[in-house]
Structure 1
Amino acid sequence: MRRLPLTLLAAGLLLAGGIASAATTIPATAVKTAEQLRDQALHDGTAMAVVTSLTTEVGPRLAGSAADLRAREWALAKFRELGFDKVYSEPVTFPLWQRRSESGAIVAPFPQPLVLTALGYSPGTPAGGLSAQVVKFDSLEALKAADPSSVKGKIVYVDYQMHRQKDGHDYGMGSAVRVAGPPIAAAKGAAGYLLRSAGTDMHQRIAHTGVTGFRDPKARTIPAAALSNPDADQLDRVLAYGKPVTVRMDLDCGIVGEYTGANVIGEITGSKHPDQVVAIGGHLDSWDPGTGAIDDGAGIAITMAAAKLIHDLPQRPDRTIRVIAFANEEMGLWGSRAYAQKHASEVAKFQLGTDSDFGAGKIWRMSASVKPEARGAIEQIAGVLAPLGVAYDATRPGGGGSDLSQMHARGMAALSLTQDGTHYFDWHHTANDTLDKIDPADLAQNVAVYATWVYMAAQADGDFGSAPGAFAEDSTGE
């Protein structure tokens, strides 16, 4: 082997030493405590008690409704009851959309009722409803390519069907049909918009609501609704006769001004670095048909309970644990965007973050967006999570979850923790989103995962790379 000059050898050793000193690691004592937290969480009933309380005492929590304020008051009280050191709220203002009534029917050639639900930000129909001929498209791309003359004055119907997937990836297109479809149809002159519900329950006559992409107050809007899957099947059969099909939509809904709600925040103050934050949370709002148990009462409960377990340790964590109950995620990440705008200048103080917003199925996959020198610490976290059935995928980025994706976009180091969503979209955004859909053992596994990684991140020697613009080239990984 060729000998290196002494000066180069010394420089190489110094460089190696520098890299070693910059590496983020988690002390053995913290790893041991995390293992204890993990095992304890599997037998802890706090999360189930929290989500039961929220869905029973508040119930549906449509942003801007009377229950919005009740939910915020509930969250402030629950944080205090669980012993959080600092409890506060930050205002969030957004358009106030209300749903009052809705119905639909096939008028011709075979008159019969349809089960449908209005979509968020949809305007109402004229008094007595809107009746028009239906024009069907099998995909969003087909609608985009359509000649405007073929849809003008008609009700556009997009028939994209989701299928069950463990990671829920069909929702990417399902939500696109719901969000992007109505503005596209409106711009082409359509009178109304229908879609097959973005859901996987093929045998339940219950429609899935959700938000549209109507954001520009100057752009044209049209009444928009989702059909239950069986009713979409029925409409398909009627259309297959080849005769003109007329549908009536009668929606009493719309934007009625602005509303100021709030993000509600609880903190466990760090003992050594109180200004450095491990961020977790979920969204406090829900759609109105169900009680918002899986979307997202579970996420609120998981993160509150995980932080509570860390709070109850004999010693406080080195860094602050911040749990954020975000406002109005459902109609456009309003709380998330407000939070990121307010705290963008503090992004370097965020150690690591992600939120829980995919139900209460067991977490089976973890991925991360961190600096290279922190990969070893992520592997340490993965090692403690492995007995819970969580696999670390080092090839995927971490997106921070639904709401904390906005802080990740500004440079916060982030995880993605993927839950088993095989049946999530059976109940998502429907009247069937109720407490009975949560398995207490699965919920406890989620708490164990969160308590473990949050504590380890809080105790790490070194950071995970948060800095303004640090992950600009990252995809969300969601």
Structure 2
Amino acid sequence: MQRPVLALLTASLVLAHGRACAAEAPTTIPAAAVQTAEQLRNEAMHDDTAYQVVKSLTTEIGPRLAGSANDPRAREWAIAKFKALGFDKVYTEAVTYPLWVRRSEHGAIVAPFPQSLTLTALGYSPGTPNGGLTAQIVQFPSLEALKAADPGTVKGKIVYIGYRMHRTKDGHDYGIGGGIREEGPPTAAAKGAAGFLLRSAGTDADSRTPHTGLTDFRDPAKSIPAAALSNPDADQLERVLAYGKPVTVKLDLDCGIEGQYTGYNVIGDIVGRKYPDQVVVIGGHLDSWDPGTGAIDDGAGVAIALGAAKLIHDLPQRPDRTVRVIAFANEEMGLWGGRAYAEKHAAEVGKFQLGTESDLGAGPVYQMSASVKPQARGAIEQIAKVLKPIGVAYDAKLPGGGGSDLSQMHLKGMAALTLSQDATHYFDWHHTANDTLDKIDPQQLAQNVAVYAVFTYMAAQADGDFGSAPGAFAGDGAGD
């Protein structure tokens, strides 16, 4: 009786060892898929689908503030565009969030030198009382200085922080400028301030176009009126403050949260031939701020994803895995679409092969990084080799974040890329009335499409996976 048992045990160990070896096998991309990806890259560089998409969106719909009258119009536009481009499945998923509205905004220096100020209300700011808010300015050099301030120096005043962003290729100054915009207002409110002003989180210097954007306000009862000055107006305010006299400013903002609203993520699938339940996911966010037409933020991202998917769709044979494009709802007011999608699909994260989102304008992609399992690094290097001729370098030391909304799926364990775009001039126009179609260079947009088409197709054709699993990348600083 012992020999059969021993034989069975030996066979079991051999089978287990085989499974372990199979699990550790490297992920690779077949030579035929690499060749097709090179063809896609070359074709994309001369394809104008993405430009036509973003032109259509910005012309036919225009600004797309979440919950505004253009919100459902944009959704219907997206559904129709997905269908026109040939997606096999087009559907929506509901996203509910606070409805913030903007009606009007005015500002002025009352004393010592009366004059108007060009400003814009910040997202989730409440309105001012009837007749406006008039109070003395108290200036701080940084967010840290405000956090350290005695509440007695702030109480009843309008806090002003004048940090000036500088142009950089990777846009890293936005981490400071955007941080002041988000954290400054609630910090000032907690110390008893009556209102908050900042120099716009933007890099333009000669245009009176203030940059709007999100604050960290969530409780209307603990919020104070908050606005951003254009850079020239911030310069003017600082010159007035330099006289050393008390400076009084009046804010008149008609805005605020008005209940809840339900919008929708719009999703399109090109269904995979071999593994339809495994997906490579790309996208952008459909909403925009209201002063401009949302061309670079983020009509371009939606267009890049659609353009890349259309090229893959038009190949003679469907990809092995499903290619999914998501036009996310309400990214601007707090990643609402991305968070809703991640919560709904968290249990399926292992089926997400690889993903990332485009949300930094239409400047050319110059660098790729990835969060994948070690056995998939070779496949990433294969992708990088195809992208190198169009100016994309691969940094193996940096993690991938997945972009804005898809960072939330990455936090759940989705393998992800970061495709860094040249953001040298992006923050000149970001969140302003100057976010318009003329800021997009069609050839640079096409380069983005080539990058997305290449990685999406190669990931869809890979022999093996990239390591998506619940909690898989918790140690790499997952998420952008």
**Global fold match (TM > 0.5):** yes
Q: How many residues are matched?
A: 467
The question of 1:439 aligning with 2:441 is answered yes
Which residue of the partner structure matches residue 429 of structure 1? 431
Q: What's the counterpart of residue 41 of structure 1?
A: 44
| 1:214 counterpart (214, 217, 222) | 217
Which residue identity lines up with residue 28 of structure 2 in the other structure?
Answer: T
Is residue 204–residue 427 contact of structure 2 (8 Å, CA) maintained in 1? Answer: yes
The partner residue of 2:243 within 241, 255, 268 is 241
Question: Per-residue displacement from partner, 1:83-121 (whole Å, max 9, x unpaired)?
Answer: 000000000000000000000000000000000000000
Asked if 1:185 is matched to 2:188, the reply is: yes
> Given the superposition, is the C-alpha separation of residues 474 and 216 from structure 1 closer, same or farther in structure 2, using an over 3 Å criterion?
farther
Measured after TM superposition, the shift of residue 409 of structure 1 is 0.3
1:405 and 2:381 matched = no
2:113 equivalent in structure 1: 110
User: What's the TM-score once normalised by structure 1's chain length?
Assistant: 0.96
2:408–2:479 Cα contact (<8 Å) kept: no
Moved more, 467-476 or 332-341: 467-476
Cα distance in 2 between the residues matched to 1:65 and 1:16: 54
Q: Report matched runs for 1:295-310 at 5 Å.
A: 295-310=297-312
Cα 1:134–1:437 shift into 2, 3 Å: same
Q: Could you tell me how far apart the structure 2 residues matched to 1:336 and 1:367 are? A: 21
- Using the alignment, how far apart are the partners of 1:179 and 1:21 within structure 2? 44
Alignment of 1:456-475 (within 5 A): 456-475=458-477
How far apart, in 2, do the equivalents of 1:22 and 1:181 lie?
A: 50
Name the CA distance, whole Å, in 1 between partners of 2:250 and 2:163.
21
| Structure 1 residue ranges, 4+ long, deviating more than 3 angstroms after superposition | 14-17
After TM superposition, the structure 1 = structure 2 runs for residues 259-298 of structure 1, keeping only pairs within 5 Å, are 259-298=261-300
Aligned-partner SS, 1:344: helix
1:385 aligns with 2:356: no
Matching residue's letter, 2:297: D
Cα distance in structure 1, aligned partners of 2:422 and 2:300: 13
Distance 2:32 2:457 in 1: 11
Distance 1:436 1:256 in 2: 34
Q: CA deviation at 1:325?
A: 0.2
Residue 17 to residue 211, structure 1, CA distance change in 2 (3 Å): closer
Do the aligned residues in 1 keep the contact of 2:24 with 2:375 (CA within 8 Å)?
no
User: Does residue 59 in structure 1 map to residue 80 in structure 2?
Assistant: no
Residues 300 and 361 of structure 2 are in contact (CA less than 8 Å); yes or no, is this contact kept in structure 1? Answer: yes
* Structure 1: distance between partners of 2:337 and 2:467: 24
Kept after mapping to 2: 8 A contact 1:396/1:477: no
Secondary structure at 2:222 match in 1: coil
Question: What is residue 175 of structure 1 aligned with on the other side?
Answer: 178
Tell me: CA distance 1:223–1:167, structure 2 relative to 1, closer, same or farther (3 Å): same
Q: 1:51 to 1:412 in 2, by over 3 A?
A: same
Correspondence for 1:258 among 254, 257, 260: 260
Q: Deviations over 1:275-313 (max 9, x none)?
A: 000000000000000000000000000000100000000
Question: Per-residue displacement from partner, 1:321-345 (whole Å, max 9, x unpaired)?
Answer: 0000000000000000000000000
**Partner of 2:321 in structure 1?**
319
Match of 1:205 in 2: 208
Q: Aligned partners of 1:171 and 1:333: how far apart in 2?
A: 17
Please tell me the residue identity of whatever aligns with 2:94.
P
Deviations 1:411-468 (A, max 9, x none): 0000000000000000000000000000000000000000000000000000000000
**Identity of matched residues, %:** 77
The structural deviation recorded for 1:20 is 9.2
The amino acid across from 1:278 in the alignment is: V
Counterpart of 1:144, as a letter, is K
SS in 2 for 1:354: strand
Q: SS at the partner of 1:258?
A: strand
- Cα 1:246–1:316 change in 2 (3 A) is same
Post-superposition shift, 1:178? Answer: 0.4
Q: Secondary structure at the match of 1:213?
A: coil
Deviation at 1:128, TM superposition (A): 1.2
Asked if 1 retains the 8 angstrom alpha-carbon contact of 2:415 and 2:467, the reply is yes
| TM superposition shift of 1:18 | 2.5
CA distance in 2, matches of 1:68, 1:152: 38
Contact 1:281 1:355 in 2 (8 A): yes
CA contact under 8 A between 1:300 and 1:356: conserved in structure 2? yes
Offset at 1:216?
A: 3.3
Q: CA deviation at 1:220?
A: 1.1
Q: Distance in 2 between matches of 1:93 and 1:298?
A: 24
Alignment partner of 1:130 out of 133, 140, 143: 133
Distance 1:234 1:476 in 2: 41
Amino acid at match of 2:437: L
Query: Does residue 1:32 correspond to 2:35, yes or no?
Result: yes
Question: Equivalent of 2:85, from 77, 82, 87?
Answer: 82
Q: CA deviation at 1:127?
A: 1.1
Q: How big is the shift at 1:476? A: 4.1
Q: Kindly indicate whether the alpha-carbon contact (under 8 Å) linking 1:47 and 1:301 is maintained by their aligned counterparts in 2.
A: yes
Does the CA contact (< 8 Å) of 1:303 and 1:450 recur in 2? yes
Tell me, in whole angstroms, the C-alpha distance in 1 between the residues paired with 2:185 and 2:431: 18
Tell me, in whole angstroms, the C-alpha distance in 2 between the residues paired with 1:464 and 1:254: 44
- Retained in 2: the 8 A contact 1:397–1:477? no
Q: Which residue of 1 aligns with 2:5?
A: none
User: Mind listing any 5+ residue stretches in structure 2 that lack a counterpart?
Assistant: 1-13
Inter-partner Cα distance in structure 2 for 1:356 and 1:330: 14
Confirm or deny that 1:346 pairs with 2:370: no
8 Å Cα contact 2:407/2:479 also seen in 1:
no
8 Å CA contact 2:279, 2:321 repeated in 1? yes
1:433 and 1:166 map into 2 onto residues whose CA distance is 18
Is 2:411–2:479's contact at 8 Å kept on the other side of the alignment? Answer: no
List gaps (5 residues or longer) in structure 1.
Answer: 1-10
**Secondary structure of the corresponding residue to residue 197 of structure 2:** strand
Please name the residue that 1:3 is paired with. Answer: none
Q: Are the counterparts in 1 of residues 185 and 196 from structure 2 also a CA contact under 8 Å?
A: yes
Offset at 1:19? 7.1
